[in-house]
Amino acid sequence: MRTPRQFYWKGLHVPFIAPWSRESSPVSAIIRVGQGIGYADEFSAADRRHGTLWIRQAAVRGAGDPELAGVHPLRQRQAMSHMLCQVCGTSTFDSDFVRWGERHLFLVRAVGGRPIGEGERTTTPPVCRTCAIESVGACPHLRKGYTAALVKRAQPWGVAGIVYDPLTLKPTIPDSRLTEASFTSPLIRWTLAARDVATLHGCTTIDLAQLAVAA
Ligand SMILES: [Zn+2]
């Protein structure tokens, strides 16, 4: 199994999906293309996925300073599409996946440890056991703010992105806040995607501490 290069910053493991300061996002003019948006200089198939326009961002991991809590849109998408660990970037179709009855481990932000509901939407890719245990060790408060679950299936649902007004071609919400749009919603054609969104199915809440002990 291919393991991407790992980066550390001031003693912390830099997540695979974290952006780096030199991964610049070029300013690209948005135009109307039929019943949706496009880039004025759009020429590459890489600008779209399943017909949806995606944010452009350079991909040079390790260049500059990492933004540890940030998300690189294209690596997030890569991790969601291929079920890669969001921290180390390796496939979570690993020996634990087999041992857990073909399930992936997800750590989802949940104040008060609320369990993950059936069909709940998330933009958070899975995590491998080693990285989950490492995260808990690095951050003792993690368990309070997160819920861990073994998940049978992550179903592609849509994207989260910046929605453009069809008339003004300006973002409808300021501050680059992201709005979720499903693949079946007409809104998605006016959305500049920044995250893949999946729904989680067959979720069983687990205790990360027990996972660490079992390891
Ligand atoms: Zn990992």
Please, what are the averages of pLDDT over each run of 10 residues along the chain (215 residues)?
87 95 93 96 90 96 95 97 97 95 90 82 96 77 77 97 96 89 97 98 88 67
What per-residue confidence (pLDDT) applies to 135?
82
Ligand 1 centroid to residue 170 C-alpha, Å? 38
What length does the chain have?
A: 215
Q: Which pLDDT does position 193 carry in this prediction?
A: 98
What pLDDT score was predicted for residue 152? 97
Please give the single-letter amino acid code of residue 186.
P
Is residue 57 within 8 A of residue 73, CB to CB? The reply is: yes
Instruction: For residue 150, report the distance from its CA to the centre of ligand 1, in Å.
Output: 15
* Centre of ligand 1 from the C-alpha of residue 23, in Å: 22
HEC string of 133-154 equals HHHHHHCCCHHHHEEEEEEEEE
Distance (angstroms) between ligand 1 centre and the Cα of 65 equals 21
pTM for the structure as a whole: 0.92
Token representation of residue 10: 């001031």
Using alpha carbons, select from 195, 114, 98 the residue that is nearest to residue 148.
114
pLDDT at 67: 95
Q: Is 76 helix (H, G, I), strand (E, B) or coil?
A: helix
- Cα of 96 to ligand 1 centre, how many Å? 12
